[in-house]
């Protein structure tokens, strides 16, 4: 199967015929959260604390997950949070998020973090990125179905494919850890 047909097949798969929920295009829930960094956001080195950036990432991703799923969604995991450049006081930080992939009740949200330096007239620079998995929940906190995501651009389709790879790695890692724990328990090695 050629790469183009493989991508189209995955898009068709997103239109799950078993699902009674219509799919939503990637652009329907994409968002940008912007925030000016202040002295309250700094760490001991005088740059913005990584935890502040992580909160902004989680906030933007949560907004996207809630929009896409049409209701509450909770953070299940954060993968691959990368800090590429320091963020400084006065920087205008833009956190751009979109749904990359959806399962039955979960979705992966990709996030890019950009910073505009307060004293430079240069384009925003990417300073971080992350992937988060959210689970849609109902009023009782129980998982609920999410609409399939419909990738629109070639970039969206690439992100969809990459998200499937990350998901398979997360599942394989979880399976390997559970097998190791069961083996250690069977050997009487209680941690």
How does the average pLDDT of the chain come out, rounded?
Answer: 89
Predicted local distance difference test score (pLDDT) of residue 114: 98
- Give the C-alpha distances (Å, rounded to integers) separating 70 from 133, 146, 147: 16, 8, 9
Residue 12 — pLDDT band, cuts 50, 70, 90?
A: very low
Structure tokens at 123: 């384009």
Predicted local distance difference test score (pLDDT) of residue 156: 96
pTM of the model: 0.84
Predicted local distance difference test score (pLDDT) of residue 17: 46
| H-helix or E-strand spanning residue 112 | strand 106-116
Closest CA to 92 of 128, 126, 117: 117
| H-helix or E-strand spanning residue 6 | helix 3-14
| H-helix or E-strand spanning residue 73 | strand 73-83
Residue 5 — pLDDT band, cuts 50, 70, 90?
A: very low
- The rounded distance, in Å, linking the Cα atoms of 176 and 74 is 25
| Cβ atoms within 10 Å of 152's Cβ, excluding its own | 14
Closest CA to 69 of 19, 159, 135: 135
Using only C-alpha atoms, what is the Rg of the chain?
A: 19
b/e map 113-130, b = 16+ CB within 10 Å: bbbbeeeeeeebeebbbb
Predicted local distance difference test score (pLDDT) of residue 191: 64
The answer to whether 39 touches 87, Cβ cutoff 8 Å, is no
Residue 19 — pLDDT band, cuts 50, 70, 90?
A: low
> Which whole number is the average pLDDT over 44-62?
96
Binning the chain into helix, strand and coil, the percentages to the nearest 5 are 35, 30, 30
Would you say residue 91 has pLDDT above 70?
yes
């Amino acid at each position: 199967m050629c790469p183009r047909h493989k991508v189209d097949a995955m898009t068709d798969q997103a239109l799950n015929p078993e699902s009674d929920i219509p799919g939503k295009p990637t652009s329907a829930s994409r968002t940008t959260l912007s925030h000016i960094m202040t002295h309250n956001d700094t760490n001991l080195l005088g740059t913005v604390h990584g935890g502040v950036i992580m909160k902004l990432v989680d906030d933007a991703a949560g907004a996207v997950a809630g929009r896409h799923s049409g209701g509450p969604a909770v953070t299940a995991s954060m993968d691959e949070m990368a800090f590429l450049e320091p963020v400084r006081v006065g920087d205008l930080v833009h956190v751009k998020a979109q749904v990359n992939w959806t399962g039955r009740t979960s979705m992966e949200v990709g996030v890019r973090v950009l910073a505009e330096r307060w004293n430079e007239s240069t384009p925003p620079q990417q300073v971080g990125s992350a992937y988060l998995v959210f689970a849609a929940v109902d009023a009782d906190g129980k998982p609920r179905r999410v609409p399939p995501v419909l990738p629109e651009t070639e970039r969206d389709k690439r992100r969809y494919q990459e998200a499937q790879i990350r998901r398979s790695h997360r599942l394989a890692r979880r399976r390997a850890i559970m097998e190791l724990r069961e083996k250690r328990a069977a050997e009487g090695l209680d941690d």
